[in-house]
């Protein structure tokens, strides 16, 4: 029997290490012949900490939300007596979260120990690179990727084979492969989970890519805010070198390839490939004019290919199973699967991997379980700060590059921020524009100054100081910023504003002309009132942090509007629905 405890960042944050320590202690105290091991995140982040118990015959029982105080029940019942503790096991409904997915990139996450190369090898790890270097030419590899239809999973969806081929055909013997692991979108954590849960799949994908384009060195540019990912990458690289999968003369083929890690400082603009290259070279992360493209002159002016984590993690599966198998999934123009990070007002937050072309409705309701507290679905932000808001009326839009782009959003790296009826779309646009304004490198006037001016307008509107013509001014500035910016950050920064104006113009007009926030979210535009339903229990006055509520016991209370900071604690504490928000 074996106990495996999920210890990705989400598991650790919810107490998985303490849970693991308690299992080890109780198993030792009871002298049970049970091993305790670790794995990464299986994707059901909303159920962490997760504990999997494997019987000797391979049967699995999954326990969820296991805290140290729950360990004794599992040990005494299941590990000691062989009787599963069914009240703590995952429900049939929650099992659907995984069962409805089609996993390629996440195939090993939450299954193998990411710090043990033997477990990766046991699931056919490193067989793809052995096949490649011993029986395929670089041209064969590129053709297989072309057949697969794999497109870059980090943003624009550019054909992967084309970038590899361009770098391969560029003159020069010194070439570089760079993995962009600088995942910077708010609410996105796909790459982090792969790095923490299956680092060898990335390494193997990089080795294959290096062979195809003729590079002998790979660099993983990983944000320093991912310490666990970096730790497991370093362990994986050391193990791969010991096995001969990294280094000189791989599989006796004469092909040399090694990888190193560069920890980035977490600048969103470094998601743009030329800014990333500048950072790698020790310069400030600022974009360069293109052409020349990195495939011709990139890192140290040498031919360079840049792919993100998810793109490269697909590669071993494709080369092992064949490009046609990957191309059979998804749609005609958007092939394969895509990983999405479900966050926001969703019941089941976590990672999902589905075939391209699946409707948004199936992702949000079929897999994600719908909206928290059964509130009304309002919109989903896709593509992070570079993307846009897709309204409820378009929930049946297929999730692929072409159809999502038509809505004004982008697939991007895969973030999905779900919003309900309580979300103010004007404030949401303000939030994302504030992010891009802060992350602008400042090189382009339109991006540096234009985003600041747009943010000032949005702040005025959400503070109840909007003016006639503000909407038109936002649209005018958005066009100029998109046209006048050099890199993708500036060119896409206005997208959240443009899409919210496109689909939720009435909310902007309510803020400006009626001085009302439809979602009752913007503090400057709402008022808390106590109705005649008040029983005088005094709970609201005790919870008020500024003493704005007064009244006698068993008598109706009132709110001093001059003192009220609109924190909402009175509304949360009232048991009689006696407080309204207008």
* Phi, psi dihedrals of residue 416, rounded to the nearest 5°: -130, 105
pLDDT of 311 strictly over 80: yes
Q: State the pairing for strand pair 258-264/217-223.
A: parallel
The answer to whether the beta carbons of residues 535 and 576 sit under 8 Å apart is yes
Model confidence at 384, in pLDDT bands (50, 70, 90)? confident
In whole angstroms, what is the distance from residue 348 CA to residue 97 CA? 8
**Tokens 């394969």 map to which residue?**
336
* pLDDT at residue 350, rounded to an integer: 96
- Provide the CA 193 distance to its chain's centre, in angstroms: 9
pLDDT per residue as tens digits for the range 523-562: 999 999 999 999 999 999 999 999 999 999 999 999 999 9
Alpha-helix residue ranges (DSSP H) falling in 295-408? 309-321, 323-327, 360-361, 401-406
Q: Is 40 helix (H, G, I), strand (E, B) or coil?
A: coil
At the topology level, CATH places domain 2-95 in Glutaredoxin (3.40.30)
In whole angstroms, what is the distance from residue 392 CA to residue 403 CA? 15
Strand locations in 205-345 (E): 217-223, 258-264, 304-308, 337-344
pLDDT per residue as tens digits for the range 54-89: 999 989 999 999 999 999 999 999 999 999 999 999
* Secondary structure of 494-556 as H, E, C letters: CHHHHHHHHHHHHHHHHHHHHCCCCCCCCHHHCCEEECCCCCCCCHHHHHCCCCCEECCCCCC
> Mean pLDDT for the chain?
95
Alpha-helix residue ranges (DSSP H) falling in 150-226? 160-169, 190-197, 199-213
* pLDDT at residue 184, rounded to an integer: 84
Going by CATH, does the domain composed of 117-327 fall within 3.40.50.80? no
The dihedral through the CA atoms of 221, 225, 231, 236 has a sign that is negative
Question: How many C-beta atoms surround the C-beta of residue 204 within 10 A?
Answer: 30
Which conformational region is residue 319 in: left (phi greater than 0), alpha (psi within -120 to 50 degrees), or beta?
alpha
Q: Kindly state the average pLDDT of the residues 21-43.
A: 96
Alpha carbons within 13 A on the beta-carbon side of 387: 29
* pLDDT at residue 187, rounded to an integer: 84
* pLDDT at residue 186, rounded to an integer: 85
What percent helix, strand, coil does the chain show, rounded to 5? 45, 15, 40
Model confidence at 282, in pLDDT bands (50, 70, 90)? very high
In whole angstroms, what is the distance from residue 300 CA to residue 340 CA? 34
* pLDDT at residue 526, rounded to an integer: 94
At the topology level, CATH places domain 425-514 in de novo design (two linked rop proteins) (1.20.1440)
Q: Where are the domains of the chain?
A: 2-95, 117-327, 337-420, 425-514, 527-581
Q: What angle do CA 532, 535, 539 make, to 5 degrees?
A: 120
pLDDT per residue as tens digits for the range 399-450: 999 999 999 999 988 899 999 999 999 999 999 999 999 999 999 999 999 9
Going by CATH, does the domain composed of 337-420 fall within 3.40.50.970? no
Please state, for a pLDDT cut of 90, what percent of the chain lies above it. Answer: 96
pLDDT per residue as tens digits for the range 127-174: 999 999 999 999 999 999 999 999 999 877 899 999 999 999 999 999
In whole angstroms, what is the distance from residue 397 CA to residue 411 CA? 12
Q: Kindly state the average pLDDT of the residues 568-582.
A: 93
**Mutual orientation of helices 495-509 and 470-484 as an angle, nearest 10°?**
180
Cis-peptide into 291, omega within 30 deg = yes
* pLDDT at residue 475, rounded to an integer: 97
* Residue 333, both tokens: 């123009």
pLDDT per residue as tens digits for the range 229-274: 999 999 999 999 999 999 999 999 999 999 999 999 888 999 899 9
Q: Kindly state the average pLDDT of the residues 10-31.
A: 96
Q: CA torsion angle for 409, 413, 419, 423 (degrees, to 10)?
A: -80
**What CATH architecture does domain 527-581 belong to?**
2-Layer Sandwich (3.30)
Cis-peptide into 487, omega within 30 deg = no
* pLDDT at residue 412, rounded to an integer: 85
Q: Is 303 helix (H, G, I), strand (E, B) or coil?
A: coil
* pLDDT at residue 373, rounded to an integer: 94
């Amino acid at each position: 029997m074996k106990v495996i405890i999920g210890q990705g960042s989400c598991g650790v944050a919810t107490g998985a290490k303490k849970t693991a320590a308690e299992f080890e202690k109780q198993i030792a105290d009871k002298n049970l012949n049970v091993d305790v091991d670790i794995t990464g995140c299986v994707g059901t982040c909303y159920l962490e900490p997760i504990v999997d118990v494997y019987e000797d015959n391979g049967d699995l029982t999954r326990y969820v939300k296991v805290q140290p105080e729950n360990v004794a029940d599992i040990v005494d019942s299941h590990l000691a007596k062989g009787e599963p503790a069914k009240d703590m096991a995952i429900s049939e409904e929650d099992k659907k979260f995984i069962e409805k997915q089609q996993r390629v990139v996440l195939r090993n996450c939450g299954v193998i120990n990411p710090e043990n190369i033997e477990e990766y090898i046991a699931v056919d790890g490193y067989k793809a690179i052995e096949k490649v270097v011993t029986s395929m030419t670089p041209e064969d590899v590129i053709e297989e990727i072309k057949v697969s239809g794999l497109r870059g999973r980090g943003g624009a969806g550019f054909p992967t084979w084309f970038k590899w081929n361009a770098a391969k055909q560029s003159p020069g013997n010194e070439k570089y492969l760079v993995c962009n692991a600088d995942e910077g979108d708010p609410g996105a954590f796909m790459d982090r989970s792969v790095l923490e849960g299956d680092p060898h799949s990335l390494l193997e994908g990089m080795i294959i890519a290096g062979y195809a384009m003729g590079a002998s060195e790979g660099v993983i540019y990983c944000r320093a805010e991912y310490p666990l990912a970096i730790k497991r990458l370093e362990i994986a690289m050391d193990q791969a070198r010991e096995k001969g999968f990294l280094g000189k003369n791989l599989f006796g083929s004469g092909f040399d390839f090694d990888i190193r890690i560069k920890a980035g400082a977490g600048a969103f603009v470094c998601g743009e490939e030329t800014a990333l290259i500048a950072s790698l070279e020790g310069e400030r992360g600022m974009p360069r004019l293109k052409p020349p493209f990195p495939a011709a002159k990139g890192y140290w002016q040498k031919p360079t290919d840049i792919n993100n984590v998810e793109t490269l993690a697909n590669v071993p599966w494709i080369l092992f199973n064949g490009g046609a198998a990957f191309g059979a999934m998804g749609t005609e123009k958007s092939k394969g699967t895509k990983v999405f990070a479900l966050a926001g007002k969703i019941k089941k937050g976590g990672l999902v991997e589905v075939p391209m072309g699946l409707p948004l409705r199936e992702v949000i309701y079929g897999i994600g379980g719908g909206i928290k507290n059964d509130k009304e679905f309002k919109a989903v932000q896709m593509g992070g700060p570079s993307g846009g808001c897709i309204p409820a009326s378009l929930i049946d839009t297929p999730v692929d590059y072409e159809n999502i782009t038509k809505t004004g959003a982008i697939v991007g790296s895969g973030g999905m921020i779900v919003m309900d009826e309580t979300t103010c779309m004007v404030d949401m646009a303000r939030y994302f524009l504030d992010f891009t304004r802060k992350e602008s490198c400042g090189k382009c006037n339109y991006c540096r100054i234009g985003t600041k001016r747009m943010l000032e307008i949005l702040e005025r509107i959400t503070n109840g100081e909007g003016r006639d013509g503000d909407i038109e001014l936002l649209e005018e500035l958005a066009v100029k910023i998109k046209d006048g910016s050099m890199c993708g950050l500036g060119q896409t920064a206005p997208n959240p504003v443009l899409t919210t104006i496109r689909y939720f113009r009435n909310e902007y007009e309510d803020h400006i002309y009626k001085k009302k926030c439809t979602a009752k979210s913007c503090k400057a535009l709402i008022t808390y009132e106590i109705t005649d339903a008040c029983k005088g229990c005094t709970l609201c006055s005790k919870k008020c942090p500024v003493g704005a509520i007064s009244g006698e016991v068993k008598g109706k209370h009132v709110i001093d509007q001059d003192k009220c900071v609109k924190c909402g604690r009175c509304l949360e504490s009232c048991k009689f629905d006696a407080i309204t928000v207008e």
